[in-house]
Amino acid sequence: MQDEGRKEDDRHHLSMEPFKMEINCPTANLDRYMNTIKDTIASFKPIVYPEIVSNNS
């Protein structure tokens, strides 16, 4: 039974590897990555929070 649980954990850990690689990416890529996230958030903000955007502007 314990071996079964350990296999599950290993599979979960392996599935997380791509995300760890994203986080540990070089700084040059990180700037582009952050800008992409900022652009994505900015494009959603007027749709998701119209009241907040209009009140603060």
Residue 29 confidence (pLDDT): 75
Split the chain (57 residues) into runs of 10 and give each run's mean pLDDT.
53 55 62 83 65 55
Report the number of distinct structural domains present in the chain: 1
Residue 21 confidence (pLDDT): 54
CA dihedral 54, 42, 48, 50 (to 10 degrees): 10
Q: Is residue 16 part of a domain?
A: no
Q: Is residue 6 part of a domain?
A: no
Q: What does the alpha-carbon distance between residue 9 and residue 16 come to, in Å, rounded to a whole number? A: 11
Residue 7 confidence (pLDDT): 55
Residue 40 confidence (pLDDT): 81
Q: Is residue 15 part of a domain?
A: no
| Owning domain of residue 36 | 26-57
Q: Is residue 39 part of a domain?
A: yes
